[in-house]
Amino acid sequence: MSKRRQELKRKGWATFGTFAFCVPGEPGRISQEATESDQPRKVPAAELAARYDVLQSRVKPLRLVDRLEPSHALVNLAAQMIEDQRVKYIEWSRCTSRAQEINSVKEDHSLKMLQGGRQGSVRLVEPAARITAETRSDLQLMQALRHRGVAYELAALMTFEKHEELIDKLFLEYQREPLAGFHAVSVDQLQAADREVHVRMAELTRSGLVPGADGALPLDGPVTSVLASSQIQWMLMPRPKGSGSGHGGTGAEGNPEKPGKPPKKPPPKKTDPTKASDKDQQADPPGHPH
């Protein structure tokens, strides 16, 4: 019996706790794979401040403050990609600013939730504040995307300049004047193209997010290759009018009608007040002379 115990100890099965938290695989080892429920990796404050100062000095006179400074939560999401060694798309609504993060108010400070750790432990964590980035106007959308570009740089994922090339590509096609018979590029097309860029970058970095031999950040090379591909250019092409529902069309008389608006009613006929009809004469008999 003691011989078997010694064999189990050599393989890592030393306590009953090891048996309680055992998983399929090699005995004594806990899976290190991250799950979607795990909290993002937090960049140390000193390291984050040092990277921010380097970036700010490089992009002068652009000032990355107030509405242009990304939230720490966004930076942590970008840093988690480096930790997991895989690309993950960050929704536009999550590209929040540091000002929003500071001004966010938690509804219940005592509310906490249980989260399983990677080593089999369970801990109490505070739920993340529910703040979303405003993207209703073109300016707000550009600021939200710029938040992501700064966060990528601070997380050592992609340089700010390379992400600006992505923003320029999207907004150049978005603001291009369409030809006759075509719709302008929509915001939905921008978001679809932005997603596709990240999907293609993930395909090019299956082996991991490794910096280049020349010191380039992991996604600098892939984003340049993806932006030059025909798939992204095709997704940003103007759509012809009348190609589907919601894109407008022609009415029964051949006049173009705007989508969502009823056809125009004909103007009411004008009547001559001096010419009264027979009904008016019967309804209003002449008065008695005074």
Distance of CA 150 to CAs 51, 102, 104, 225, 286, Å?
10, 18, 21, 21, 86
Q: Is residue 53 part of a domain?
A: yes
Contact, 205 vs 183, CB < 8 A?
no
- The verdict on 56 and 16 lying in the same domain is no
- The verdict on 23 and 80 lying in the same domain is no
CA pair distance 49, 72, nearest whole angstrom = 11
Name residue 42's amino acid. Answer: K
Contact, 154 vs 55, CB < 8 A?
yes
pLDDT for res 115: 56
- The verdict on 201 and 62 lying in the same domain is yes
- The verdict on 72 and 92 lying in the same domain is yes
- The verdict on 134 and 21 lying in the same domain is no
- Which residues, including other chains, have CB under 8 Å from residue 32's CB and lie 6 or more apart? 118
What stretch of H or E contains 257? strand 256-257
- Which residues, including other chains, have CB under 8 Å from residue 221's CB and lie 6 or more apart? 204, 212
pLDDT for res 41: 72
pLDDT for res 250: 41
CB atoms within 10 A of CB 252: 7
- The verdict on 176 and 53 lying in the same domain is yes
Q: Is residue 89 part of a domain?
A: yes
Kindly give the parts of the chain with pLDDT less than 50. 23-37, 107-109, 245-260, 283
- The verdict on 22 and 125 lying in the same domain is no
Q: Which domain holds residue 93?
A: 40-102+115-235
Contact, 215 vs 169, CB < 8 A?
no
- The verdict on 93 and 20 lying in the same domain is no
pLDDT for res 67: 87
Q: What is the pTM of this model?
A: 0.66
pLDDT for res 4: 72
- The verdict on 67 and 206 lying in the same domain is yes
- The verdict on 97 and 7 lying in the same domain is no
pLDDT for res 83: 92
- Indicate the number of domains in the chain: 2
- The verdict on 209 and 156 lying in the same domain is yes
- The verdict on 89 and 208 lying in the same domain is yes
